[in-house]
Amino acid sequence: MRLLSVALTLAFLNTVGQALALERGNSGPQVTSVQRCLQRLGYYNGPINGNFGPLTENAVKRFQQAKKIPAIGQVGPQTQRALQAACQSRQSKSSSSNVLKVGSRGAAVTQLQQSLRTLGYYKGPITGYFGQETEQAVIRFQQSKKLQADGIAGTNTLQVIRTNLASRPNNNSVGGGTDKYPNALNEGDAGPQVLQLQRNLAQLGYFQANPTGNFGSVTKDAVVRFQRDYGLTANGIVDGQTWTAISTNANYANNNNSACSPTSGFICLGENSPRVVAVQQSLRQQGFFNREITGYYGTETRDAVAQFQQTAGLNPTGFVDFQTWQALGLTNNNSTGGENPNIENRYVVIVPIRDANTLEQVRQFVPQAFAVKSRLGDYVNAGAFRDRPQAERRSSQLRDRGFDARVEYF
């Protein structure tokens, strides 16, 4: 069935060059074929819907750049021939069903990413999707082990990865004591390692209590949730594999979230707000997020955002800045009643930023407010409206609460 799908994709690609160039705004089976080919090559991770939108356009541009073709985002005869050749080559190299390659998804990819991160070859988020970042990590590992560096994790590569993991010193030793699991942390243990475990789980959004250094039922439940999310045995016992997965993910979150400042209007790990609901809904609609819509910005949402950013050609930071917010198709109206996001809203309620607390104070009343830098002075955008009376009402409500709010037309 897969070979038939590839054959159909290549057949459709053959017809692209006989027609006008495909470009943004087009739709149909030819666009579907282009999306499938780009996905197989690792350039496209959006939905396969036959609509040539901004994600498809960005993927085409990245492919064109890689192939030294003018990056105009349109699929003309030259790009069509390059796509066909690349997809045929990819198919011939990965005809086996027992390999992980660009476009693969699932628990096996999650395990591969965790293993490569443990071995020091993968620095990206654990997403369960095999994209270009994972492919490059596989190539680096293959090169270091004198394997064929094709970026495909086949039987031989996976076996060498397992062998290297097994040979790591103290691979299963993270704790101590004379309990049922002396080489692991588990319920009943206590000490500085448990305290670090709790802090790491809190950093990742799994542990909501105060870290005490005592491994109780709350800590066990947090470990189980983490293990379930990352494809590990969900038994609440922190063996070497679970410890490594938690600590490396916490380090990644800490390093990347250090650049995320809530006072700048960014959505960072730990935020719980209507803005996060809007982000999760948009990610789900575009096929990047299949979890429950909670409004909490934890590691699952962060990884989905990073995956979206990479697909959209943005820096995959894992947090939502204004550029990512716009790329998700969101406006300042997504969580606000009485405002129509489908109509251009030019009347903006602004509050000049007087100190570092201004944004958070405004968000007490307008949760989706965000900061904007301007040559005339930084301000908080507290809502954009089509009609001035609506904007004046919002401005009046904020002035009643002591804010220097005003309405500007943009």
In the chain, the amino acid numbered 158 is L
Q: And the tokens for 215?
A: 């491994």
Handedness of CA 238, 241, 247, 253 (dihedral sign): negative
| Predicted pLDDT of residue 225 | 86
Are the C-beta atoms of residues 395 and 346 closer than 8 Å to each other? no
Percent of the chain at pLDDT exceeding 90:
5
Percent of the chain at pLDDT exceeding 70:
80
Q: Report DSSP letters for 256-283, one per residue.
A: HHTT--GGGT-B-TT-BSHHHHHHHHHH
| Predicted pLDDT of residue 175 | 44
Backbone Cα Rg of the chain: 24
| Predicted pLDDT of residue 171 | 45
May I ask the CATH class of domain 347-409?
A: alpha beta
Are the C-beta atoms of residues 112 and 153 closer than 8 Å to each other? yes
pLDDT band at residue 405 under the 50/70/90 scheme: very high
Distances (CA, A) of 164 to 6, 86, 125, 238: 35, 32, 21, 21
Q: And the tokens for 235?
A: 């038994």
Q: Which residue has the higher pLDDT, 237 or 255?
A: 237
For the segment 259-287, the average pLDDT, to the nearest whole number, is: 79
Distances (CA, A) of 190 to 213, 238, 328: 5, 13, 44
How many degrees, rounded to 5, is the angle at CA 115 between CA 239 and CA 251?
Answer: 75
Q: How many residues would you count in the chain?
A: 410
pLDDT band at residue 258 under the 50/70/90 scheme: low
Q: And the tokens for 402?
A: 């002591």
Q: And the tokens for 29?
A: 């089976």
Domain residues of the chain, as ranges?
2-93, 107-166, 192-257, 262-327, 347-409
CATH number 1.10.101.10 given to 262-327: yes
| Predicted pLDDT of residue 406 | 92
CB-based contacts of 256, cutoff 8 Å, min separation 6: 317, 318, 319
Domain 107-166: which CATH number of 1.10.620.20, 1.10.10.10, 3.40.50.1820, 1.10.101.10: 1.10.101.10
Q: List residues bridging with 153 in a β-sheet.
A: 100
May I ask the CATH class of domain 2-93?
A: mainly alpha
pLDDT tens digits for 168-212? 654 444 444 444 555 578 888 888 888 889 988 887 778 878 888
Residue 291, pLDDT above cutoff 90: no
| Predicted pLDDT of residue 232 | 77
Q: Is 92 exposed, middle or buried (0-12, 13-18, 19+ CB in 10 A)?
A: exposed
**Which range has the top average pLDDT, 14-23, 76-85, 235-244?**
76-85
Q: And the tokens for 171?
A: 């691979």
Residue 368, pLDDT above cutoff 60: yes
| Predicted pLDDT of residue 261 | 63
CB-based contacts of 362, cutoff 8 Å, min separation 6: 351, 369, 380, 382, 398, 403
Residues 54 and 326: their CA atoms lie apart, in Å, by 12
For the segment 265-269, the average pLDDT, to the nearest whole number, is: 79
Residues 186 and 219: their CA atoms lie apart, in Å, by 9
Burial letters for 26-52: b for 16+ Cβ neighbours within 10 Å, e otherwise? beeebbbbbbbbbbbbbbbbbbbebbb
pLDDT tens digits for 110-168? 888 888 888 888 887 777 788 888 888 999 999 888 888 888 998 889 888 888 877 76
CB-based contacts of 203, cutoff 8 Å, min separation 6: 250, 253, 254, 269
Q: Report DSSP letters for 11-49, one per residue.
A: HHHHHHTTSSPB-TT-BSHHHHHHHHHHHHHTS--S---
Residue 284, pLDDT above cutoff 50: yes
Residues 138 and 149: their CA atoms lie apart, in Å, by 8
Q: Which residue has the higher pLDDT, 3 or 331?
A: 331
Residue 314, pLDDT above cutoff 90: no
| Predicted pLDDT of residue 176 | 43
Residue 77, pLDDT above cutoff 90: no
pLDDT tens digits for 206-233? 887 888 888 888 899 899 888 887 777 8
Q: Which CATH architecture has domain 192-257?
A: Orthogonal Bundle (1.10)
| Predicted pLDDT of residue 219 | 92
3-state SS, residue 169: coil
Q: Do domains 2-93 and 262-327 have the same CATH topology?
A: yes
| Predicted pLDDT of residue 179 | 47
Q: And the tokens for 52?
A: 């040539």
CB-based contacts of 403, cutoff 8 Å, min separation 6: 351, 361, 362
Are the C-beta atoms of residues 126 and 110 closer than 8 Å to each other? yes
Q: And the tokens for 252?
A: 């990644």
**Which range has the top average pLDDT, 36-45, 66-75, 180-189?**
66-75
